[in-house]
Amino acid sequence: MTQAAMESPKITFDAQIPEDLLAMLRAAAKEDGRHIQAILEEALREYLDNRKKAAPRRHVLAALQASMAEHDELYKSLAK
């Protein structure tokens, strides 16, 4: 975690998770010697970072659409 992330103000919010997931989270925190909050922050940051990386870029999608329009007949014959 970055120093800036550690110094950011914390905001409380409510969330609900299944009881079995909370039990697994508590067990993992105890096993790792960490606070639940630290694990949740890490998991959320990783999820959001991966989400950014996984999203196709607009120019890539535009190039794909242009290629599909330009070579539609070729793609159809290749698919047969």
Render pLDDT for 44-67 as a digit per residue (tens, 0 to 9): 999 999 888 876 778 888 898 999
pLDDT for 6 equals: 66
pLDDT < 50 positions in the chain: none
pLDDT for 32 equals: 97
d(CA 18, CA 61): 37
Distance of CA 8 to the CA centre of its chain: 21
What torsion do the CA atoms of 56, 57, 59, 60 make, to the nearest 10 degrees?
-30
pLDDT for 19 equals: 97
DSSP string, the chain: --HHHHHSPP--------HHHHHHHHHHHHHHT--HHHHHHHHHHHHHHHHHHHSPPHHHHHHHHHHHHHTHHHHHHHH-
pLDDT for 3 equals: 62
- pTM for the model stands at 0.58
